[in-house]
Amino acid sequence: MAYNDVYGSWKADPERFWMQAAEAIDWVAKPSRALFADNAPLYEWFVDGQVNTCWNAVDRHVEAGHGDRVAIIHDSPVTHTRHEITYAELQARVASLAGALRAKGIGKGDRVIIYMPMVPEALEAMLACARLGAIHSVVFGGFAAHELAVRIDDAQPRAIIAASCGIEPGRVVHYKPLLDAAIEQAAHKPDFCVIFQREQEVAQLIEGRDHDWHAFQYGVAPADCVAVEGNHPAYILYTSGTTGQPKGVVRPTAGHLVALHWTMRAIYDVGPGDVFWAASDVGWVVGHSYICYAPLIAGCTTIVFEGKPVGTPDAGTFWRVIAEHKVRSFFTAPTAFRAIKREDPEGKLVRDYDLSSLRALYLAGERADPDTVKWAEAQLGVPVIDHWWQTETGWAIAANPLGIEKLPVKIGSPSVPMPGYDVQVLDEGGHPVAPGTLGAIAVKLPLPPGTLPGLWNAEARFRKSYLEHFPGYYETGDAGYIDEDGYLYIMARTDDVINVAGHRLSTGGMEEVLANHPDVAECAVIGVADALKGQLPLGLLCLNKGSNRPHEEVVKDCVRLVREQIGPVAAFKLAVVVDRLPKTRSGKILRGTMVKIADGEAFKMPATIDDPAILDEIAAALKTLGYPAAAG
C-alpha cells in the first residue's frame, strides 16, 4: 500500500486501523475496542485490554525460539568496552532484577526512579519495572540534586535505582553524592535504593537504605510478567522545561506497545534481527521509545552507546559504530551532525569505514536545517529523513514512512502526518489558515495511541498547557506551515516567532539562510526587544573548524544573505560570532534563555543546560553588540 492509502484507511476508520495494528501485540486479554472517548477531551486507548510490556519486548521472542538473537549491544568508547546481550540473557537478567524488587515489596502501580548512565542495566531496570507493572521515571543521569529532588517529590517513588557514576570524556560524574543530596532535599523518602557499582567508581552505600545491584538479587526467585490494564501508566517522563515545575508526561501501556511496534516497520523500515541505533540517552523520550522499547518490541538489536559524536575519540565514532555493528537504520539529532561537520567539514573520516549496511538516517529533536541535511546526504549516500515529534507524543507526528513508501524528500520539511495525527495550522483565533501561511501547529483530537493521556497528578495543568487555547485540538507549541502538497514545515517554537514592525517572522527561516554560509557550522537567531520595531532578529554564529576569515566579513556576508533571501522586512542587521551555543543535554538550543539575557531580564538557570559557563560567554558577546543589560 502507498502512504496515501494507509493514511486514508486510518482517516476513514480509525477504530479498525488501530485494532488491526493491535493484532501485532501479544495480549493477556484482547481489548474490546480501540478508542475510549467517555471522558473527552481526555481520551484513552485499549483500556479494557490486559497486557505486559516486558513480555512483548523480551519473553515472547525467547518463547518463539529467538533467544540466541542479540537484543542489546553496549558500545562504550569512554570505557573502551563492547559487549552483547542475547534475548535469553536479557530475559534472565530482567526477571532476576524484577524478582529482587518484588521481594522488597515493589508491585503494580508503585513508582521507581531510575538514575543511570548509558549502560544496559538502565534498560534492564526499565524492563524490570514493566515486568512487575511498576511505573518507572527515568531521570537523566547526572542531573543536579535539586532537579532530582523535585522529581522525587512529584513521583513519590518507593525505590530508586542508580549507578555509582557516569563517564564523560575526560571525567567521571559522581552520581551517588548527587542522589544522596537529592534524597536529603526531598520531602518524600524512598524505601530503598539499588546501586549499580561501576568499576570506575565504587560508591559508599548507606546501610539499611542502599543495596548493591548484584547482592540485592542474590538467591531471589525470578519474577514472571504481571498483566496490567491497557491504560495503566508504563512510565512518567518529566519534560525538561526551562522554568517552573517539570511536567510529568504519562505514557499508557497498551497504546505505547501498539504505536511503537507499528512505527518500526512503517517509519524506520526495520524488523526482527535488524540492528537499529538511536544515538540518544535513556533519560530522553528518544531513549525510552527507540533505545529501549520499540526496537525490542520489534525483535531488533538495539545499541546502547556511551559516548559523544566528537571526542570519543574523534568525529568518526558514529561511522565506526555503524560499520562495526552493521546498523541498518540510524537515528540522531541534527546537533550531533553539526558537531561532526564542524570538526570534519569535508567528511574525510567517513571514507575510513564501510557503511554499506546503512539504509537511512533519521533526524529529530530540533529543526533539521537544510545545510546539515545536504551535508549528511552527500557524506552517507542514503536517504536523510527529518521527522518531527515530541516528548508528549512519544513517536513521530510527521515523517517520511520508508517502510510504507519513500515519498519525495523536501529538504526543510519532516514530510507528512502519520496515521493518527490530523495536523492543522491555525491562526490565533483557532481557524485553519491557507497553505503556505505561518501559524500555530495543532493536532485535532483525539491524539493517537501511545501519546499522553495527561500529566502525572496534574489534570488542570494538562488542560491548560495543551487543550484550552484551541478547543478540540492538542496545541503542539510549534509554529510552521503546510504547503500545497500537504508537507509540513516546522519553523520555530511558537515563542520563537518574532514580530518585527508588525510582520510575523520565523527565526528558523533566518537560521536556514545563515547555515548556508560556507563558514557557518551552526547558528541561532533570537528576537531581541527594540523600542521602534518591537523586536529585531539577532544572529549567533559558530564557525567551522579551520575557518580563518575575519569575523566581521562573515557577519557582513550573513546580513547580506538574509536581506537577499528573506528581504529587508526581516531587518536583520545584528550578528556576532561565538565559540558555542548554550544547549540542553539533549541538544536543543536555549533560545529563550538567550533572549532573556539580551533583554536584561531575570532568568532561572535551565536544569538541563549542558554547560552553564556558556551563558557568560553569550552575555559577553551580546555586550559587544550594545546590549549592556546582558552583562547583568
Give the pLDDT mean for 306-333.
Answer: 97
| Residue 41, SS3 per DSSP | coil
What pTM does this model have?
A: 0.87
258 occurs within a structural domain: no
Whether 93 contacts 139, CB under 8 Å: no
| Residue 48, SS3 per DSSP | coil
369 occurs within a structural domain: no
Which of 225, 258, 287 delimits the end of a domain?
225
Does 632 have pLDDT greater than 80?
Answer: no
385 occurs within a structural domain: no
pLDDT digits (tens, 9 = 90+) for 329-348: 999 998 899 899 999 999 99
Q: Which domain holds residue 573?
A: 501-631
Q: Where are the beta strands (DSSP E) in 60-174?
A: 70-76, 81-86, 111-115, 135-138, 159-163, 165-168, 171-174
392 occurs within a structural domain: no
Task: Please report which confidence band the pLDDT of residue 5 belongs to, taking 50, 70 and 90 as the band edges.
Answer: very high
Q: Domains in the chain: how many in total? A: 2
Nearest alpha carbon to residue 299 among 327, 266, 265 = 265
In what order do the strands lie in the sheet containing 210-212? Answer: 210-212, 192-196, 159-163, 111-115, 135-138, 233-238, 248-252
Give the pLDDT mean for 184-189.
Answer: 97
- Return the CATH number at 176: 3.40.50.980
Residue scoring higher pLDDT (507 or 423): 423
Which of 207, 225, 243 delimits the end of a domain?
225
What is the pLDDT of the chain when averaged over all its residues?
A: 93
Q: What is the grid cell recorded at 25?
A: 501485540
Give the pLDDT mean for 269-275.
Answer: 98
Which of 225, 252, 277 delimits the end of a domain?
225
Does 451 have pLDDT greater than 50?
Answer: yes
Give the pLDDT mean for 30-42.
Answer: 97
pLDDT digits (tens, 9 = 90+) for 132-182: 999 999 998 878 888 899 999 999 999 999 999 999 888 999 999 999 999
621 occurs within a structural domain: yes
Give the pLDDT mean for 459-477.
Answer: 95
Does 631 have pLDDT greater than 60?
Answer: no
Predicted pLDDT at 612 = 85
Q: How many of the other CB atoms lie within 10 Å of CB of 173? A: 14
- Return the CATH number at 551: 3.30.300.30
213 occurs within a structural domain: yes
- Number of separate helices (H) and strands (E) present in the chain: 20, 31
Whether 356 contacts 327, CB under 8 Å: no
597 occurs within a structural domain: yes
Q: Match 523586536 to its residue by C-alpha cell.
A: 535
428 occurs within a structural domain: no
